[in-house]
Structure 1
Amino acid sequence: MTHVTPTRLSDGRELIYFDASAGSAETHRGPAAAADQRGLPPRGATGDVRHDALTGEWTAVAAHRQTRTHLPPADQCPLCPSSSANLSEIPARDYEVVVFENRFSSFGPALGGLPSIAAGEAGWGTTTPAYGRCEVVAFDSSHEGSFGSLTPERARTVIDAWAHRTEALSAMDGVKQVFCFENRGEDIGVTLLHPHGQIYAYPFVPPRAALMGQTARRYFDSVDGRETLMGSVLESERTSGERMVLEGKHFSAFVPFAARWPLEVHLVPHRRVPDIAALNGSERDELTGIYLDLLARVDGLYTTPTPYIAAWHQAPLDPELHPASYLHLQLTSPRRAEDKLKFLAGSEAAMGAFINDTTPEQVAENLRNAASTGTDTP
């Protein structure tokens, strides 16, 4: 069972070590985690979110993120274990998996609910604190890599960390959506090469999650709750097989019929669960292997590592949307060829109308045929 060790950084931010066992925790850090020696100043005030009267959406204003660390040299990496020459965000001299509150957070540290905008009101000029929380998940102590470069044991520990944090963040005041994700590659905008992901606890349901939740709820109601929309889609894809990439006992991966991105794969559990925390041990075990296999195939498409966003869509914490929502991963990449990227230009960026440069069926075939070996460096 994963061993959890919470502590605090010198500015009060929470940091949690996750180890495969109590024995491995002892091996890596001894009986207690090292204290943060940096003497950081107190955290700044919570930023703002502003209501967009034209769309009904919320936008976070986080100008302080302009000063965040950008592609530092290895000996100054903030996610590597601390040393005498580099007092990093992680005080321990070694670790397995670590989660800590982001120093350059878009949401939080204050918690609370956003004001409601009454039906028929524009809400123009509404500004409120950006309640919520942003966390960083360091997948491994190695300086370079990604989730796909992890050992199965380490990947399993990360999944347990995601589950732990999903459950904890979902219980926090005002949180409406917990989003675990990994950005991989400078083409995606990654600013740290260290293998890591992030978790956002939003004070609202983000637009895409709200749209998917509303669509799923309409379908759920139309069939009197006999099945979910994602469950129906998964059954259709498995029956057709044309866009399937991988199938296991508990999970399947397929390229969606109406994929928006040149490379897009959905990884879906066979039973409806709302979030990662609801997966049982057997499901987490299989997820570890099938996810690593999928990432290896994604990297096997080209001679260099594929940039991607791996987005875990969990059920919004909204009583109307939650019952029909279905945990799944959407992995997308803008890479449309070995040396070409898909840019979100006029139609996509301005109108939200995607035009795909590849066919889902061909992408699925390419992934099935890709060697299950990655190009990432452990």
Structure 2
Amino acid sequence: MAPFVFATTPRIVFGAGAIARIGALAAERLGPRVLVVTDVGLLRAGLVQPALDALAQAGIAASVFDPVTADPPEALVADGVAAAKAHEATGIVGLGGGSPLDVAKVIALVAGSGEALAEAYGVGLAKGPRLPLLLAPTTAGTGSEVTPIAILTTGAHEKKGVVSPLLLPDIALLDPDLTLGLPPAITAATGVDAMVHAIEAFTSTSPNANPVSKALAREALRLLGGAIERAVADGGDRAARADMLLGSMLAGQAFANSPVAAVHALAYPLGGHFGIPHGLSNALVLTHVMRFNLPACADAYAALAPCAFADCPEDAQALVDRLEALCARLDLPPRLRDVGVPENAIGMLAQDAMAQTRLLVNNPRPVTLADATAIYRAAW
């Protein structure tokens, strides 16, 4: 067996109503003053208030930083660091979907170390230390609460990542109740995003691809595939929501150590140029990338088929077909043209995708510019 390293968030707290424990957890690890990083939508929906109440009951002074948007621009980090310093924050809480959690990670890093963000982009370049950090997801998709990755939008359209074990939080707090009532479209897109994480982790050719990640990917797909349609159909299905949240986390642990590949490389330019949410971007290119990869990893796809769909045979093509049918049943837009991507953008998208070398190197089949162009064209 090849040597590998597996790292994850050291403490995971999971359970319905677990957000009520945030005060005690923060008092134990984050200190007396915390900055809560979230977004305005969650604040207005009342999802942040229980956390603020629990923090206040524990005697912790909390300040809210809420301007986080989808595909967050790096300028938000500077604003968040300034807010943390003004509050004299001793710790950071991230509460929300992938964007607030990613922004919280980088705020904790820069506020704690004083390092320049521009010098932290890339793999293993962050220096630290960071402020103590707790992350609580409100969607079941990114797995950001257990990944050492934060993605920000730089310039007009480009996305860059900070990848470092320093970004793993001290505590991941997973409360399925925070995901109750999530709109069907967001439930569907984020759920497929989590499934992509599991599939790409399982087939990754990273030197650190490992049996732990593969086992987690299988279980993640079992949970996600069995629950996603129930969660979309009934936003109040607590059992489905719990399975989705746990499946998302397991998939996050898998790809944090056995990194993702071409699906994500082709999805990022769609978000950067056209503002398409990350989960939907992944869904739009998923089966087209998988068809491209079939000659290189048919056995792996076949092994995953009955994990994702209990009644599916161990057949690679069947997995691709079932995933395509699932996206249709979830009412996700099937084509790039359906989300406003013009045909004349395909060349630009392919060029940008080829710049995602950190991801493409993990794909089971090498991707050329011509290949990326053909995949986008098939998806269009």
Give the TM-score, by structure 1 length: 0.31
Which protein has the bigger helix share? 2
Give the TM-score, by structure 2 length: 0.31
Which protein has the bigger strand share? 1
